[in-house]
Amino acid sequence: MDIPEEIKKFCIRELGELQSFRSASGGCINNGGRLETHSGHVFLKWNSATRFPDMFTKEAKGLRLMQGPQCITVPQVIATYEGEQHSCLILEFLESSVPVKTYWEDLAIGLAGIHKMSADHYGLDHSNYMGSLVQDNAYHKNWIDFFIRCRLQPQLKLAVDHGKMQNDHIRLFEKLFQQLDVLLVTEPPALIHGDLWNGNIMTDNAGKPALIDPAVAYAHREMDLALMQLFGKPPLSFYQAYNETYPLVPDWEGRMDLYNLYALLVHVNLFGGGYLIQCMQIVKHYVS
């Protein structure tokens, strides 16, 4: 994989002479990998500036927000670039290593520390991205309103517009919306990672947990915990340590499926397939 000339010139201005580049696997949206320079190595990723405007500028803001409480490893932002054709993000390179014995407990304590960061509203002062999809973060005082208007409804509209959902599906969701005041529990706004599946959790150079690729907002912390369970559940020690650090509201486990509707709808729009079936199974559990 070749680094686009536009990005290469920016990297030389920022970092000096470039020595080698080794691409990383697993990126669905961005190209990226380890970039060796005369002064050390960094992680470089890039994509289309026209398809995903300001994506990396917003990711950098999210990373810096998560660094605020200094409770878990988050890669340092070195530079961002928005060009005519391409944009890029240069980050501290985290060398993945063998997890320490207290990895899950450390992750729980670190995540709880981020969740303790609060605001007087739900949302954020800018939109950002969930995967390749724009995520609306318009300010709301009411959590249920934010969850419906800024998380579920935009994804439903996108799915209908692209023929991935029918009006019958929407009517069931609208029935569910009428029950969310009872089904969900409101808490003060919490800074959340926002895209906390296992691919965005890694180890740092010392084997401690590290968080990457956020889609931050001030929202409900149970959204992070829900997404952590969608593609594989952490061990009991994680939940014990989290609950000791920042006690959860009783019956939080019963709300995980409802919060995962957002991530599942995103997957419907990105990938289609069986994710719609999964969504509707959850909805039909509560409405008929």
- Which one of the listed residues 195, 204, 213, 224 is annotated catalytic? 195
Is residue 195 among the annotated active site residues?
yes
CA–CA separation, 81 vs 179, rounded Å? 44
Tokens of 128: 């950002």
Q: Return the HEC string of the chain.
A: CCCCHHHHHHHHHHHCCEEEEEECCCCCCCEEEEEEECCEEEEEEEEECCCCCCHHHHHHHHHHHHHCCCCCECCCEEEEEECCCEEEEEEECCCCCCCCCCHHHHHHHHHHHHHCCCCCCEECCCCEEECCEEECCCCECCHHHHHHHHHHHHHHHHHHHCCCCCHHHHHHHHHHHCCHHHHCCCCCCEEECCCCCHHHEEECCCCCEEECCCCCEEECCHHHHHHHHHCCCCCHHHHHHHHHHCCCCCCHHHHHHHHHHHHHHHHHHHHCCCHHHHHHHHHHHHCC
Which residues have C-beta within 8 Å of that of residue 115, sequence separation ≥ 6?
A: 190, 191, 192, 221, 224, 246
Amino acid sitting at position 223: M
* Cα–Cα nearest to 161, from 196, 124, 202, 133: 133
Alpha-carbon dihedral sign for residues 280, 159, 254, 172: negative
Show which residues are catalytic: 195
